Protein backbone atom coordinates (compact mmCIF):
# COMPACT_ATOMS: atom_id res chain seq x y z
CA UNK A 1 0.00 0.00 0.00
CA UNK A 2 1.28 3.48 -0.81
CA UNK A 3 0.42 5.52 2.27
CA UNK A 4 1.18 8.95 0.79
CA UNK A 5 -0.85 8.22 -2.36
CA UNK A 6 -3.78 7.10 -0.20
CA UNK A 7 -3.53 10.28 1.92
CA UNK A 8 -3.38 12.45 -1.20
CA UNK A 9 -6.65 10.94 -2.43
CA UNK A 10 -8.24 12.29 0.76
CA UNK A 11 -6.54 15.69 1.21
CA UNK A 12 -5.51 16.69 -2.30
CA UNK A 13 -2.45 18.97 -2.32
CA UNK A 14 -2.98 20.26 1.26
CA UNK A 15 0.05 20.14 3.59
CA UNK A 16 0.62 16.84 5.40
CA UNK A 17 3.26 15.45 7.73
CA UNK A 18 5.50 12.88 6.10
CA UNK A 19 8.03 10.67 7.82
CA UNK A 20 10.92 10.18 5.44
CA UNK A 21 14.25 8.37 5.61
CA UNK A 22 17.27 9.13 3.47
CA UNK A 23 20.85 8.02 3.26
CA UNK A 24 24.26 9.58 2.75
CA UNK A 25 26.08 6.84 0.86
CA UNK A 26 29.88 7.18 0.78
CA UNK A 27 32.23 5.19 -1.43
CA UNK A 28 35.80 4.15 -0.60
CA UNK A 29 37.10 7.55 -1.86
CA UNK A 30 34.80 9.40 0.58
CA UNK A 31 32.61 10.60 -2.28
CA UNK A 32 28.87 10.89 -1.69
CA UNK A 33 26.23 9.37 -3.96
CA UNK A 34 23.57 11.88 -4.98
CA UNK A 35 20.40 11.44 -6.96
CA UNK A 36 19.17 13.90 -9.58
CA UNK A 37 15.41 13.76 -9.17
CA UNK A 38 13.24 13.24 -12.23
CA UNK A 39 10.38 15.40 -10.88
CA UNK A 40 12.27 18.67 -10.33
CA UNK A 41 15.76 18.09 -11.77
CA UNK A 42 17.44 18.85 -8.44
CA UNK A 43 20.06 16.84 -6.57
CA UNK A 44 19.57 15.21 -3.17
CA UNK A 45 20.22 12.06 -1.25
CA UNK A 46 18.37 8.82 -2.00
CA UNK A 47 15.39 8.21 0.27
CA UNK A 48 11.66 8.44 0.58
CA UNK A 49 8.56 8.16 2.70
CA UNK A 50 7.78 5.56 5.30
CA UNK A 51 4.95 3.10 4.70
CA UNK A 52 2.56 1.99 7.44
CA UNK A 53 4.16 -0.64 9.68
CA UNK A 54 7.72 0.00 8.53
CA UNK A 55 10.61 0.79 10.83
CA UNK A 56 12.98 3.61 9.91
CA UNK A 57 15.54 0.94 8.98
CA UNK A 58 13.06 -0.90 6.74
CA UNK A 59 12.26 2.40 5.03
CA UNK A 60 15.81 3.50 4.26
CA UNK A 61 16.86 0.00 3.12
CA UNK A 62 13.81 -0.26 0.81
CA UNK A 63 14.11 3.26 -0.58
CA UNK A 64 17.85 2.97 -1.28
CA UNK A 65 17.26 -0.37 -3.04
CA UNK A 66 14.41 1.08 -5.14
CA UNK A 67 16.28 4.25 -6.11
CA UNK A 68 19.88 3.07 -6.46
CA UNK A 69 19.80 -0.75 -6.64
CA UNK A 70 22.21 -0.88 -3.68
CA UNK A 71 21.71 -3.32 -0.81
CA UNK A 72 22.22 -2.05 2.74
CA UNK A 73 22.48 -3.95 6.01
CA UNK A 74 20.84 -2.51 9.10
CA UNK A 75 24.06 -2.99 11.11
CA UNK A 76 25.99 -0.75 8.67
CA UNK A 77 23.59 2.19 9.05
CA UNK A 78 24.40 5.08 11.38
CA UNK A 79 21.93 7.90 12.07
CA UNK A 80 23.46 11.15 10.80
CA UNK A 81 20.71 13.52 12.00
CA UNK A 82 16.96 14.08 12.15
CA UNK A 83 15.43 17.13 10.48
CA UNK A 84 12.02 18.78 10.78
CA UNK A 85 10.31 22.15 10.73
CA UNK A 86 10.44 24.81 8.04
CA UNK A 87 13.73 23.46 6.64
CA UNK A 88 11.81 20.32 5.69
CA UNK A 89 8.80 22.08 4.16
CA UNK A 90 8.62 21.03 0.53
CA UNK A 91 6.20 21.60 -2.32
CA UNK A 92 6.55 19.04 -5.09
CA UNK A 93 6.20 20.11 -8.74
CA UNK A 94 2.68 18.61 -8.82
CA UNK A 95 1.62 20.91 -5.95
CA UNK A 96 1.70 18.32 -3.14
CA UNK A 97 2.86 20.03 0.05
CA UNK A 98 4.64 18.25 2.92
CA UNK A 99 6.35 18.96 6.20
CA UNK A 100 8.84 16.15 6.62
CA UNK A 101 10.33 14.53 9.64
CA UNK A 102 13.43 13.40 7.79
CA UNK A 103 15.72 10.79 9.36
CA UNK A 104 19.06 10.79 7.58
CA UNK A 105 21.42 7.84 7.85
CA UNK A 106 24.97 7.46 6.62
CA UNK A 107 26.57 4.29 5.34
CA UNK A 108 29.94 3.25 3.92
CA UNK A 109 29.31 -0.47 3.43
CA UNK A 110 26.88 -1.66 0.78
CA UNK A 111 26.55 -4.15 -2.06
CA UNK A 112 25.46 -3.92 -5.66
CA UNK A 113 25.84 -1.84 -8.77
CA UNK A 114 24.32 1.66 -8.93
CA UNK A 115 21.33 1.71 -11.31
CA UNK A 116 18.77 4.55 -11.69
CA UNK A 117 15.07 4.00 -11.29
CA UNK A 118 12.25 6.17 -12.65
CA UNK A 119 12.56 8.67 -9.76
CA UNK A 120 16.07 9.65 -10.90
CA UNK A 121 17.61 10.94 -14.09
CA UNK A 122 21.14 10.44 -12.76
CA UNK A 123 23.03 8.91 -9.85
CA UNK A 124 26.57 10.17 -9.35
CA UNK A 125 29.32 10.17 -6.74
CA UNK A 126 30.64 13.63 -5.86
CA UNK A 127 33.70 14.83 -3.99
CA UNK A 128 32.56 16.70 -0.89
CA UNK A 129 34.46 19.79 -2.06
CA UNK A 130 32.68 19.74 -5.43
CA UNK A 131 28.98 19.20 -4.75
CA UNK A 132 26.27 20.51 -7.07
CA UNK A 133 24.51 23.74 -6.11
CA UNK A 134 21.14 22.84 -7.63
CA UNK A 135 19.87 20.81 -4.67
CA UNK A 136 16.46 20.13 -3.14
CA UNK A 137 15.43 22.32 -0.20
CA UNK A 138 15.20 19.40 2.27
CA UNK A 139 18.78 18.38 1.38
CA UNK A 140 20.21 21.89 1.98
CA UNK A 141 20.32 21.56 5.79
CA UNK A 142 21.77 18.03 5.51
CA UNK A 143 24.50 19.40 3.26
CA UNK A 144 25.14 22.27 5.71
CA UNK A 145 25.62 19.78 8.56
CA UNK A 146 27.74 17.48 6.43
CA UNK A 147 30.07 20.37 5.57
CA UNK A 148 30.32 21.34 9.28
CA UNK A 149 31.19 17.76 10.17
CA UNK A 150 33.85 17.58 7.44
CA UNK A 151 35.48 20.83 8.65
CA UNK A 152 35.95 19.26 12.05
Contact (CB, 8 A) for 82 and 138: no
Q: Which are the catalytic amino acids?
A: 122
d(CA 40, CA 45): 14
DSSP notation for the chain: --HHHHHHHHHTTS-EEEEEEEEEEE-TTS-EEEEEETTT--EE-SEEEPPTT--HHHHHHHHHHHHH--B--GGG-EEEEEE-GGGGEEE-TTS-EEEEEEEEEEES--BS-----TTEEEEEEE-GGG--S-B-HHHHHHHHHHHHHHH-
Amino acid sequence: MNYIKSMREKVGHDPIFMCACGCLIFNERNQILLQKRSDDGLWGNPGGSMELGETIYDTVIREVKEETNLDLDKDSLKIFNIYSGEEQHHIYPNGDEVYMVNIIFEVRAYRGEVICDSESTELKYFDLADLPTDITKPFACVLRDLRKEQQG
